[in-house]
Structure 1
Amino acid sequence: MDKKWIKYTQLNPYKSILIAVFVGSTIGISIKYLINQDIRFEGLLGLIVVTAFQLYLVSKRDKKK
């Protein structure tokens, strides 16, 4: 499974970042909701900034190739 994911990330870097962000966010928000019984969306700003930065780095790397 690990080798398949690495190959997928090399073939589809943008999709793999978005999949990782979606899965991680879903798990994190679910755990936070179970503990606090509320959802606060202020923390998503950091997630958006980090995701945008990762997408920028991938696009920069793709231009070098």
Structure 2
Amino acid sequence: MSDEELLAFAQFISFVQDVRNYYSWLTNDDDLVIEVASILKRPADQVDFMVRAALNALRRMDESR
């Protein structure tokens, strides 16, 4: 991954975290994928992998604390 790609993914992780925090009633990953897709105006299947990867990264960060 290039530096630009890493930066873009880090920004996406931050975006997913903001969505997760703002929409606290979204209690499962599927609902969060749908909400992020609607915000980005993309089909859920286009953002599913990226959202789940971002959530996994956030979980790993939470576990390491």
Q: Which has the larger radius of gyration?
A: 1
Please indicate, yes or no, whether the TM-score normalized by the shorter chain is above 0.5.
no
Q: Which has the higher helix share?
A: 1
Q: Return the TM-score normalized by structure 2.
A: 0.42
